[in-house]
Chain A
Amino acid sequence: MNNSMTMNSGHSPEEAHSVRGYIFVFIALLAGTILTVWASFIQFGSREINIAVALTIACVKAFLVAGYFMHLISERKMIYLVLGFTALFFAGLMGLTIWSTSPEGMVHFQHVP
């Protein structure tokens, strides 16, 4: 949360700045959506590159939503701690998923009786 915001009826320059920031993020998200769709119609050479491009744009959009709309950019340490553990387990889950689809992982699974 933007801690500079206080409960009063006036519009401080900081508050106006925050609103402008939200609008900027909103426009960036719209642009990101259009960019994602546009990029999906372009053949970058292989489907893997298309996937990488789409997921990169999605990550940037996710950063904007989490960072600014959810105020993670200026959150408390406790929240970072909770999310740090979540990120660790999520990375582990995805790591295992990717490993299990690799040739080494496939061989390992094939040996299970």
Chain B
Amino acid sequence: MDFPYIVEPRRDTGLYNAKLGIWLFLASEVMLFGALFSAYVLLRVGAEPGMWPHGWLNVYIGTANTIVLITSSITTVMAWVSCKLRQFGRFKFFHALTLLLAMTFVCIKSYEYHDKFMHYEITLANGKFADGHLIERSGDFDLAKKTGRVTIHGHEVDSEMELMDMQRPEARHIQLEEITIPATDIKKMERYGPWHHTYLAIYFTLTALHAFHVICGAVVIGFLWGPGSRMWKTDPERFTNRIEVSGLFWHFVDLVWIFLFPVLYLL
């Protein structure tokens, strides 16, 4: 059984099936991310004054990932142009680049996540706070039994609020040093995971969902670059349509990141 409008567009809409399908899907995606952006606004506005973090993420890493995604967008569109021009070799080259850039994005994001999970806020028994990246914990370290010690690369502050705005001018001159803290001096020790602060909860939710989209897109691009590219020999026009549809999804992923980057890293 042959399905109509797989390759040729329908006369009244001017669209082939997959193209209408991907746009309907992207419309639902807009609402999905829209709902999460709405949650971000509500969490931010509802935070206690001075308790919404700024400068907790590395701007340079975020910028690098933005450039990676923008570059992958042009390689995707160039892959589609190559198909249109019947240059299969060029298509393979540009799509391989896209795949490579997608993997680069995921690697950089993983490094960022790892960095956050190695970052600790330590509430000290004297009421102060130590904040920094874990270097090591002694073999006998047990917070419940109050044995052992941890060493972090960070700094100490008098109040938790001082840890919130790391973009303020004074915060940029903080000298980080190795601090060793015995377990007896520690009241509470918490990683910068999603449970630590509502900002991190929405950060991990939004970026993990976005990274999931990147991975799914990369799987599709990988398929079309590899085994799926066999269709080029039998039905090049349909294959070109597939490249266009996967490209539309990829550009949408880039579009979402264009808003995520300033909202989470800069503002």
Contacts and interface: CB of A to CB of B under 8 A. Distances in A.
A65 B258 contact: yes
A101 B46 CA distance: 8
B85 A97 contact: no
Tell me the interface secondary structure of chain A in the complex: helix
Contacts of B71: 26
9 contacts: A1-B244, A23-B74, A26-B70, A26-B71, A33-B63, A51-B267, A77-B14, A82-B20, A101-B46
Nearest to A6: B84
A32 B41 CA distance: 24
Interface in B194-253: 236-237, 240, 244, 247-248, 251-252
Contacts of B38: 93-94, 96-97
Contact of A5 (B67, B84, B261): B84
B45 interface: yes
A22 B77 CA distance: 8
A18 B85 CA distance: 12
Nearest to B250: A69
Nearest to B45: A101
B42 to A, nearest CB: 6
B34 interface: yes
Contacts of A97: 38, 41-42
Given A78-B15, A101-B42, A83 B27 contact: yes
A7 B239 CA distance: 12
Nearest to A40: B266
Contacts of B267: 40, 47, 50-51, 54
Contacts, number: 134
Interface of B: 13-15, 19-20, 23-24, 27, 30-31, 34-35, 37-38, 41-42, 45-46, 59, 63, 66-67, 70-71, 73-74, 76-78, 81, 84-87, 236-237, 240, 244, 247-248, 251-252, 254-255, 258-259, 261-263, 266-267
A98 B41 contact: yes
Contacts of B87: 9
A30 interface: yes
B13 A37 contact: no
Which of A19, A37, A55 has its CB near the most chain B CB atoms (within 10 A)?
A: A37
A50 B267 CA distance: 7
Contacts of B258: 58, 61-62, 65
Contacts of A82: 20, 23-24, 27
Interface string A63-99: 0011001100000111100110110011001101110
A19 B81 contact: yes
B30 A11 contact: no
A22 B78 contact: yes
A100 B84 contact: no
Given A19-B81, A100-B42, 7 more contacts: A9-B87, A26-B73, A50-B267, A58-B258, A85-B27, A86-B27, A97-B38
Given A8-B86, A15-B81, A76 B41 contact: no
A38 B127 CA distance: 37
Contacts of A9: 85-87
A15 B41 CA distance: 43
